Structure 1
Amino acid sequence: MNTTTSPAGTDSVYSQYALPTSSKPATTGSMGQADFLRLMTEQLKNQDPLNPLKGAEFLGQLAQFSTVQGIENMQQAMNAMATVMENDQSLRAAALVGHQALVDVDQVQLERGNGASGEIVATHPGPVQLEIVDASGVVVQRLQLTASAAGAVKFEWDGKGADGTEAPAGRYTFRATSGTGQDTQALAVRLSARIDSVSIEPQGLVLNLAGLGGYPLSSVRRVG
């Protein structure tokens, strides 16, 4: 009696054998656990009696499949956890709307007569000068402040020029310095603005600040 056998060898079961024609057609393009077990059954049924698949090889193939499946399940779990964390962060950020945020920026778009507040980062104690400059480069106001130590020096501008009149609408730049003459040193300025809304962007959460525009949550120094 002639016996038809498949080629001997220990090559991958994926390339040697095909699923039975009665098997359910694949819909996802990937092999599931049930498909893998049916394929292993076909391999055992059609293996060469003179060179059967060794138990160690069979267990090795099962272990390999289980490892791949475990990694896929872990990836799905991590993706689900990341989605939950992102949603939670979005809900928390939405509660910030209406609060004031302090960011590292020295320019702001203001309406007529509207002032601005923020802080200057002093490098040492002593006098600090703040100039408010309009879009044409004209200094509309100068404020004299004093830093008691290195660190933040708060300031507030009432939106009026040196002559006491309301400054027109426009974009204003805040320039801070310490020292005089050759010892003059430029200092960093941070402005405070109201959080109007929160946007969810590909790079993360973005706070939309009045007069300043959108800034990522990571760039906010303080919320009050």
Structure 2
Amino acid sequence: MTTTTNVGNADIYSSLGLAAATSTGAAKKNDALDQADFLRLMTTQLQQQDPLKPMDNSQMVAQMAQLSTVQGITDLNTTVAGFQQQMSSDQILRGAALVGHEVLVPSSKFALESEGDASGVVAAPAAGMVTVDITDANGTVVRQISVEAKAAGEVAFAWDGKDANGNRLEPGSYGIKANHTATNGDSETLSTYVQAPVESVTVGSDGLFLNLKGLGTAPIDYVLRIS
């Protein structure tokens, strides 16, 4: 797996032992006020107050409380930023460990290879019969698979890649639709989950994504099982 790192001009200058150039030739001053600035403002306020009308004690206490609140928020933001960085690194390691493994993810399509089967599962709401229709790119049903659900729970199904006449179909993407018919005749559509190998991982602004062979990308949170 190849990892790409974005390198800015500042990083290039740093790697060459040079200081990054700016339009003014000086570092930009931070516009945010820190604790020292608040203390200087309060000291100046005390020095300039009218001796005949000194600052009210309650106002002084309120300003001190505001100062403590600002400092506390700053410290909290620093701590949260550290947690986020640690969680991001941990997530990358978790994703990298999945490369080469197969994962079970929600999907409405199969990725058929030139050899081998394609498999998946559904969650049957009760005992009955589960019917899985496999369709080609045109939406035509090329194979129908029926599996008995003896009770409510997970029901596995597999497709050997052949049509109803026993002919091996071309590799590619095939749609799947599952339906459950209960013993009392009630019928409902089920969500389908398929097995797919993880080829690589991608770090995005919204988190970690798995690149699944033949299926595209899926968030790591979609993974229900690893094998």
TM range (shorter): 0.7 to 0.9
SS at match of 2:79: helix
Query: Counterparts in 2 of 1:203-218, with a 5 A limit?
Result: 203-218=206-221
Match of 2:138 in 1: 136
User: Using a 3 Å threshold, how does the CA distance of structure 1 residues 158 and 70 change in structure 2: closer, same or farther?
Assistant: same
How far apart are 1:50 and its partner, in Å?
A: 1.7
Match of 2:55 in 1: 53
Query: Counterparts in 2 of 1:1-224, with a 5 A limit?
Result: 27-179=29-181, 183-224=186-227
> AA paired with 1:29?
D
Distance 1:28 1:178 in 2: 63
Distance 2:140 2:56 in 1: 88
How far apart are 1:142 and its partner, in Å?
A: 2.6
* Count of aligned positions: 198
CA distances 1:26-70 after superposition (whole Å, capped 9, x unpaired): 931122333333333333333222222344433432222121121
Distance 1:192 1:83 in 2: 31
Rg larger in 1 or in 2? 1
TM-score normalized with structure 1 length: 0.77
Structure 2: give runs of 5+ residues left out of the alignment.
1-27
Distance 2:139 2:145 in 1: 17
Distance 1:138 1:54 in 2: 83
My pick for the range that moved more, 190-199 or 124-133, is 124-133
TM-score normalized with structure 2 length: 0.76
> AA paired with 2:131?
Q
RMSD between aligned residues: 2.4
Query: Is contact 1:135-1:170 (8 Å) kept?
Result: no
Distance 1:146 1:117 in 2: 16
